[in-house]
Chain A
């Protein structure tokens, strides 16, 4: 089964840049779009990146997404970190076979 692997946690200081990776277990991660969700405690996830690198309206351009086919991974980069960016981040993609929808395990971002 297709799986997405994320680091359990990352931390960085305010104003700095952090990158969260999401590595596909097989096939090509570039074959299907990757989404990124932000989840704050007690709230439902919200989309910060869709279709690999697109930002929904209202999401600051400090958030960006990319795909690296050579490492079969997707990345979420947050620049100019703010304390409000502290949250859990999940990558998600689709697979043509089962399971159809796949979520990464999530990464806890600490801004300290």
Chain B
């Protein structure tokens, strides 16, 4: 079945760029009608949608993060990536990747990866 796995540094310094990759297995990231999204969850807090990319490459970002976020897709590697610039301690969170449809639920999710912003 489809599986997603996040990877990337667990520690990022303030003002630097957070970079994460989500590797998709068990299916093609180029499958039509699906979006590939990033969601984060600060420790002890709720879920926050960061943004999503359509299989065609169109991107949709949370307005509160839009100025700092870039999501891209690499179909040759069956991966999509997140870059979040100028990070602060407030960006410390578990970052999840997940697939979703235009109106369909986020499913499946990756296991999540904790990224801590600290010097």
Q: Within 8 Å of chain A (Cβ to Cβ): is B55?
A: no
Chain A positions within 8 Å of B46 at CB level: 90, 103-106
The count of A-to-B residue pairs whose CB atoms sit within 8 angstroms is 63
Q: Within 8 Å of chain A (Cβ to Cβ): is B118?
A: no
A83 to B16, CA, bound (A): 43
Residue count of chain B within 8 Å CB distance of chain A: 24
Q: Within 8 Å of chain A (Cβ to Cβ): is B60?
A: yes
Flag A21-39 by CB within 8 Å of B: 1 or 0 each.
Answer: 0000000000011010101
Pick the contact of B106 from A1, A37, A56, A105 — CB < 8 Å? A37
Question: Nearest CB to that of B66 among chain A residues?
Answer: A98
A92 to B107, CA, bound (A): 12
Chain A interface size, under 10 / 10 to 19 / 20 to 34 / 35 or more: 20 to 34
A interface residues (Cβ-Cβ under 8 A, vs B): 1, 32-33, 35, 37, 39, 44-47, 50-51, 56, 90, 92, 94, 98-106
B interface residues (Cβ-Cβ under 8 A, vs A): 37, 39, 46-49, 52, 60, 62-64, 96, 98, 100, 102-107, 109-112
Other than the given A33-B103, A37-B106, A94-B102, 14 more pairs (CB < 8 A) read: A44-B98, A47-B107, A50-B107, A90-B47, A92-B105, A99-B49, A99-B63, A99-B64, A100-B49, A100-B52, A100-B60, A101-B52, A101-B62, A104-B46
